[in-house]
A and B are shown apart, each in its own frame.
Chain A
Amino acid sequence: MKVLLVEDNERVSRFVVKGLREAGHAVDHVENGRDGLFHAASETYDAIVMDRMLPGQIDGLGIIETLRSSGNRTPILILSALSSVDERIKGLRSGGDDYLTKPFAFGELLARLDALVRRTQGEDHGATHLAVGDLQMDLRSRKVARGSRAITLQPREFQLLEYLMRHVGQVVTRTMLLENVWDYHFDPQTNIIDVHISNLRQKIENPGETPLVKTVRGAGYMMTAE
Chain B
Amino acid sequence: MLTKVTRSSALTLAISYVALGVVALGLFALPLWYAWEVTIEDGRIQLIREDVQRFTEVFERRGDLGLAEFIEQRVSLQIAGERILLLTDPAFRPMAGNLPAWPREVTSGSGVYGTATLDLAGQATRVGLVRTVLPGGYNLLVGRDLSRLSPLTTRFWEGLGVSVTVLIGVGLFGGWLVRRAVLSGIDHVSRSVTAIVHGDLSHRLPFGADGGEFDTLSITINRMFDQIEQLVHGVRNVSNSIAHDLRTPLAELRSRLEEIVVTRPPPEETFDEVAAAVEDVDRVIGIFNALLRLAEIDAGARRSGFVEVNPAELAARAAEFYRPAAEIKGIALDFADQAGAAAISGDPLLLSQAVSNLIDNAVKFTPANGHIRVEAAVLSDHTVEISVGDDGPGVPDEEKQRVIERFYRGDASRGGTPGVGLGLTLVSAIARLHGGRLDLADNHPGLKARMILGGEAVSLS
Q: Are A156 and B296 in contact (CB under 8 A)?
A: no
Knowing A85-B302, A103-B285 are in contact, say whether A186-B356 is a contact too (CB < 8 A): yes
Q: Are B360 and A86 in contact (CB under 8 A)?
A: no
Residue of chain B at shortest CB distance from A188? B356
Q: Are A192 and B321 in contact (CB under 8 A)?
A: yes
Q: Are B305 and A199 in contact (CB under 8 A)?
A: no
Q: Are A184 and B356 in contact (CB under 8 A)?
A: yes
CB distance from A82 to the nearest CB of B (A): 10
Knowing A103-B285, A189-B286 are in contact, say whether A85-B292 is a contact too (CB < 8 A): no
A93 at the B interface (CB under 8 A): no
B341 at the A interface (CB under 8 A): no
Q: Which residues of B contact A186 (CB under 8 A)?
A: 293, 349, 352-353, 356
Partner of A196, one of B293, B324, B419: B324
How many angstroms between the C-alpha atoms of A192 and B321 in the bound complex? 8
CB distance from A144 to the nearest CB of B (A): 18
How many angstroms between the C-alpha atoms of A156 and B320 in the bound complex? 9
A152-187 interface mask toward B, CB cutoff 8 Å, 1 = contact, 0 = none?
001010000000000000000000000000101111
Q: Are B292 and A192 in contact (CB under 8 A)?
A: no
Q: Which residues of B contact A83 (CB under 8 A)?
A: 289, 292
A218 at the B interface (CB under 8 A): yes
A206 at the B interface (CB under 8 A): no
Q: Which residues of B contact A192 (CB under 8 A)?
A: 321-322, 324-325
Q: Are A85 and B324 in contact (CB under 8 A)?
A: no
Q: Which residues of B contact A70 (CB under 8 A)?
A: none
CB distance from A172 to the nearest CB of B (A): 17
A84 at the B interface (CB under 8 A): yes
A190 at the B interface (CB under 8 A): yes
Residue in A195, A196, A218 whose Cβ sees the most chain B Cβ within 10 Å: A195
Q: Which residues of A contact B286 (CB under 8 A)?
A: 187, 189
Partner of B302, one of A86, A103, A187: A86
Q: Are B419 and A86 in contact (CB under 8 A)?
A: no
How many angstroms between the C-alpha atoms of A195 and B325 in the bound complex? 6
Q: Which residues of A contact B317 (CB under 8 A)?
A: 182
Q: Are B360 and A195 in contact (CB under 8 A)?
A: no
Q: Are A84 and B419 in contact (CB under 8 A)?
A: no
Q: Are B349 and A185 in contact (CB under 8 A)?
A: yes
CB distance from B10 to the nearest CB of A (A): 50
How many angstroms between the C-alpha atoms of A110 and B292 in the bound complex? 26
B2 at the A interface (CB under 8 A): no
Q: Are B296 and A184 in contact (CB under 8 A)?
A: no
Partner of B321, one of A84, A89, A182, A189: A182
Residue of chain B at shortest CB distance from A184? B352
Q: Are B324 and A195 in contact (CB under 8 A)?
A: yes
CB distance from B433 to the nearest CB of A (A): 12
Knowing A84-B292, A85-B305, A86-B302 are in contact, say whether A190-B320 is a contact too (CB < 8 A): no
How many angstroms between the C-alpha atoms of A124 and B306 in the bound complex? 34
How many angstroms between the C-alpha atoms of A108 and B325 in the bound complex? 24
Q: Are A195 and B328 in contact (CB under 8 A)?
A: yes
Q: Are B328 and A85 in contact (CB under 8 A)?
A: no
How many angstroms between the C-alpha atoms of A105 and B278 in the bound complex? 9
A-B contact pairs, 24 of them (CB 8 A): A83-B289, A83-B292, A84-B292, A84-B293, A84-B301, A85-B305, A86-B301, A86-B302, A86-B305, A105-B278, A182-B317, A182-B321, A184-B352, A184-B356, A185-B349, A186-B352, A188-B321, A189-B360, A189-B418, A190-B325, A190-B360, A190-B364, A195-B324, A196-B324
A contacts, CB < 8 Å to B: 83-86, 89, 103, 105, 154, 156, 182, 184-190, 192, 195-196, 198-199, 218
Starting from the known contacts A85-B349, A156-B321, 5 additional A-B residue pairs (CB-CB under 8 Å) come to: A84-B296, A85-B305, A186-B356, A189-B360, A195-B324
For the complex of A and B, list the 4 residue pairs with the smallest distance between their C-beta atoms, beginning with the closest: A195-B324, A186-B353, A195-B325, A84-B296
